[in-house]
Chains A and B, each alone.
Chain A
Amino acid sequence: MAQYTKGIAGIWTDEHLILKAARKTREAGFTKFEAISAYPVHGMEEACGIKRSWIPYVTFVSGFVGMILGLLLTWWTSAVDWAVNVGGKPFFSLPAFIPIIFELTILFAALCSVAALFYACKIPRIDPPNIDPDLSCHKFAIFIPFNDVGYDESKIEKMFKEMGATEVKKTEY
């Protein structure tokens, strides 16, 4: 999510229209624009040209790290530091360790994914910029920051209006 700075926002009340508008905005050559909705709109990633998230890679790597740590933990505690004979089984009994390794894999993968998500979205953010309170309810917006390629307020305003925007707002943050 981009930082809201100076820019221009068009506001729509129809999901289908903003999907088309997002596509057209991308086709018009803007690259730093942002589509804002209260809920996920199907097909929006594609319409905005958003690439795949890098978070799954964090999940995979952290899950792998969790697995190795789980293995080391169970091995070190059960077979090295405090070896206890359980039912005559070997100290290093992999089947008994699998649940712990599994849980640590999941724990690491899940927590690191959430942490990565927080980092990627820069949350929690105190006092986030607010274009229109209704964007958390029934309105949708496309926001183009002033530093985007080909930024021209009057042209963008005209483009937004043509695409069916009910309102066009200039923002300053």
Chain B
Amino acid sequence: MGEHNHVNLHVSKFEAPAKLKTLSFALIAIGLLTFVVGLMKNQERLWTSYLVAFFFFSAMGVSGLFWIALNNVSKAGWSVSIRRYAEATTAFIPGILVGGLILLVGFKHLYPWANSETVANNAVIAAKTGYLNTGFFVVRLFIFAVGCMLFKYVMVGNSLKQDQTGDANLTHKNVSPAVGFLVFFALAFSFFSVDLLMSLLPTWYSTIFGIYTFSGMFQAGMAFLAIVVVLMKRHGYVKGYVTEEHQHDVVKYLKGFSIFWAYIAFSQFMLIWYANLPEETEYYIMRAQGGWMGVSMALLIFRFVVPFLALLPRGAKRNDNHVLLVSALVLVMQYVDIYWMVYPNFFDGHVTFGFWEIGIFAGFAGVFLLTIMSFWSKHSLVPLKDPRLHEAVNHHVAY
């Protein structure tokens, strides 16, 4: 309720910076080029790098939707003025369907269970074909992508409709779909992760794999949101509606979920390490050999220890450049994390990274940037008719 907040409320129309647009198209061109060359020259590297980038950006897309659902369910008021920043990431969600369909082209290169010869020679995998078979895999992928699209259509749609009609009821109407989405998402995202990442090593299983990928997804989503909040503030598109108070709370989310990620990652590791069952330790043994041990340790240090300590002081959460730096680090580590889940299955003992990974990632990044920028240029950057907007404007983080 600080009185200083009542001055200077202003929202400009977002116009995508020309440079950023050019960059996006350039990135897409690089991605397409890499994809085409990969199809002809190096299918294996192409599809592994495609899988990592596809999972990274799918997770980015749904992170915004999950965050909105969370705020709708808890009827949060403080976050209303930054909701459009999160909603923008959901503009990428149709890309999950498209990207998933493209993945189907190459999924025989990735998944051992899709190869009938491997299945015939391996009784353990053969026993799992009731779940791990092409038809069911496609159905699950389809349910996840289309389900997210539907929930996005309802929740983001209501939010955008409110901009036009000003109907306060739309806010309340968004609660039930949000509850439904959270339940759907818990299941569907777990299946999505198990299918795409865990089944790369079909003999291995971890019962909290879905939570592990969820924690990484949400931490990265908050890092992205923090970057958007800082950049939008810096370039003056929104004045008064989004302040460092919002930044502070988004970074609190980021820090909280950095701890959550470490907690889940350690829970997964410790139980497997303690029980020491051969079918479970396989996964970590692969990731402790050769160069992969370094990547594993880098995850621990740069995905948890550094963000945790760097975001601990209050001043750090309110320092723009500091937040940008740590958030960028978290996003990089989200990529490394997915990379770490995929690559050791194919490249035993030696870390392989290069042109293919960068090229495919660039392509996805270009599409992602374009979709979020076009979302912002089409809609108001602040949901001005939301009945809880005053709470967000007067948001104040007590110390």
Contacts and interface: CB of A to CB of B under 8 A. Distances in A.
A87 B2 CA distance: 59
A45 B398 contact: yes
B251 to A, nearest CB: 16
A52 B314 contact: yes
Interface in A95-115: 95-96, 98-99
A98 B265 CA distance: 13
Contacts of A45: 398-399
Interface residues of B, number: 14
B2 A46 contact: yes
B1 interface: yes
B184 to A, nearest CB: 33
Interface string A9-27: 0000000100100000000
A85 interface: no
Contacts of A87: 274, 276
Given A52-B399, A95-B273, A96-B274, A43 B266 contact: no
Interface string B274-307: 1010000000000000000000000000000000
Interface in B1-15: 1-3
B396 interface: yes
B1 A43 contact: yes
Interface in A42-57: 42-43, 45-46, 52-53
A43 B399 contact: no
A95 B262 CA distance: 13
A96 B1 contact: no
Q: Chain A interface secondary structure, helix, strand, loop or mixed?
A: helix
A124 interface: no
A108 B1 CA distance: 34
Contacts of B276: 87
B314 A95 contact: no
Contacts of A16: 1
Nearest to A88: B276
B269 interface: yes
B393 to A, nearest CB: 13
A133 interface: no
B277 to A, nearest CB: 11
B314 A42 contact: no
B270 A40 contact: no
A52 B266 CA distance: 34
Contacts of A98: 266, 270
A95 B274 contact: yes
B1 A42 contact: yes
B23 to A, nearest CB: 41
Nearest to A87: B276
Contact of B270 (A43, A60, A95): A95
Given A46-B2, A95-B273, A95-B274, A40 B398 contact: yes
Contacts of A60: 312
A17 B2 CA distance: 13
B266 A53 contact: no
Interface string B301-319: 0000000000010100000
B269 A95 contact: yes
Contacts of A99: 270
Contacts of B273: 95
Interface string A74-106: 000000000000010000000110110000000
B274 A42 contact: no
B288 to A, nearest CB: 12
B1 A19 contact: yes
B274 A53 contact: no
Contacts of B1: 16, 19, 42-43
A49 to B, nearest CB: 13
- Residue of A45, A46, A60 most packed against chain B (CB within 10 A): A46
A98 B396 CA distance: 36
B15 to A, nearest CB: 36
A52 B3 CA distance: 20
24 contacts: A16-B1, A19-B1, A40-B398, A42-B1, A42-B396, A42-B398, A43-B1, A43-B2, A43-B3, A43-B396, A45-B398, A45-B399, A46-B2, A52-B314, A53-B399, A87-B274, A95-B269, A95-B270, A95-B273, A95-B274, A96-B270, A98-B266, A98-B270, A99-B270
Given A42-B396, A52-B314, A52-B399, 14 more contacts: A16-B1, A40-B398, A42-B1, A43-B2, A43-B396, A45-B398, A45-B399, A53-B399, A87-B276, A95-B269, A95-B270, A95-B273, A96-B274, A99-B270
Interface of A: 16, 19, 40, 42-43, 45-46, 52-53, 60, 87, 95-96, 98-99
The 6 closest A-B pairs by CB, nearest first: A42-B1, A43-B1, A43-B2, A95-B270, A95-B273, A52-B399
